[in-house]
A and B are shown apart, each in its own frame.
Chain A
């Protein structure tokens, strides 16, 4: 059983070009752990040395920001989409 993580185009270079990555469902912390193990360079962008999400990375579970849910304890159910949203400033 799995959930899907959507990777923004700016980070796809770190996921071998994949725009979606299938992960085991569970708490966000485990989803990130799964990603970090498979794509170490993506991991550096998402979490700090202590494993906490970086302040400038927004993670959405089913279109809701995990900062307003249970943070990294937010449970990602089977079939749910996780979106990584980077702040971009281009205009």
Chain B
């Protein structure tokens, strides 16, 4: 004799706990919500904040979403049957606090509780981003988040080129490119956004052509200006995150100060000859640029790449790591480089990680209630405090 589907579900329900929709709604923040329906059902509407783990993949993907066996987990499906079986499976895997949503998503909607209207990828997008969709850490929800993200890139040069190309390829929805330079022949040894046909063309225009040809999903906003104290908040304020690939100290200190006003993370990269550095500055939750480097070196001790040279591939490595950090921060996955500086020596092919601490006495971020006054720095980049007049 075999058991019917109904029998199996009834048997499962004897061994699991169920939760009523209104009780779940009143304690939403206490649970990880797992939608065990199929991707097409999930995309038609879901409980906000829930993660998709179709029942057929549940055992293999659940640990990517929930690692703590004591975490409160609510699984749901359309009517409460599949989620009962899923809850039993999760209990069997060692999760101790699992509930199945009584009546499923249908009852949740019937009772007028909040749900997320369908936001779906087009069929072309499903193909383009298929390798992302296979990663539980990205998935459809993550891909949609990338498509809704806005990232500013300071500089469309050596670092900005690979960072912008990979972020566009990844489907970041809006890229704001800030650069007031034009393409010249000496750029082409490393600035892979540009090409011979674009000599003399503003870099932001060249970048837009390259990036939109790669991915029409990405809206490229060209800011053909130099960042200064008067425009920095307005420009960077449009974006969720800043990728700093600038080529001078005054702009880097200005971007840092502005990020403290805007409380937006900065993914920092810098290069010189054969060496590169990458870190992430998360305002007031980690160190800032001035905590790390209270002052820049005097110009005679810090020649630019134009004077001292730079290995052309080097920004390819560093800018690509900046793109990775950007995507991690946007998706909230992994461990970002906040509080750590990644160093790269291309001659010895060695990476290192140095601890970067927030300086309680930092003139820029020491007092969260008083972000630094925005000034256009000279080469010394000295910040004398909020009373300083802009020069």
* Chain A residues near B (Cβ < 8 Å): 8-10, 19, 45, 54-58, 60, 63-65, 67-68, 83, 85-91
Query: A91 to B274, Cβ gap below 8 A?
Result: no
Alpha-carbon distance A87/B347, docked complex (angstroms): 18
- The A contact surface, by secondary structure, is mixed
Q: Which of B112-120, B226-234, B264-272 contacts A (4 or more CB under 8 A)?
A: B264-272
Query: A58 to B292, Cβ gap below 8 A?
Result: yes
Query: B356 to A88, Cβ gap below 8 A?
Result: no
A89 — which chain B residues lie within 8 A by C-beta?
A: 246-249, 252, 270, 272, 296, 302, 304
The chain B residue with its CB closest to the CB of A67 is B359
Q: A58-B292, A65-B355, A91-B160 are in contact. List 13 more A-B contacts (CB 8 A).
A: A9-B275, A10-B308, A19-B347, A56-B293, A56-B296, A60-B354, A63-B352, A63-B355, A67-B359, A85-B343, A86-B272, A89-B270, A91-B246
Interface size grouping (class) on chain B? 35 or more
The chain A residue with its CB closest to the CB of B252 is A89
Whether, in the assembled complex, B301 has its beta carbon less than 8 Å from a beta carbon of chain A, the answer is yes
Alpha-carbon distance A54/B259, docked complex (angstroms): 26
Whether, in the assembled complex, B295 has its beta carbon less than 8 Å from a beta carbon of chain A, the answer is yes
- Supply 21 A–B pairs (Cβ within 8 Å), ascending by A: A8-B345, A9-B273, A9-B275, A10-B273, A19-B348, A56-B293, A60-B354, A60-B355, A63-B354, A64-B355, A65-B355, A85-B354, A86-B302, A88-B302, A89-B249, A89-B272, A89-B302, A90-B270, A90-B304, A91-B245, A91-B247
B246 — which chain A residues lie within 8 A by C-beta?
A: 89, 91
Interface bits B253-290 vs A (CB < 8 Å: 1, else 0): 00000000000000001111111010000000000000
A88 — which chain B residues lie within 8 A by C-beta?
A: 270-272, 275, 277, 302
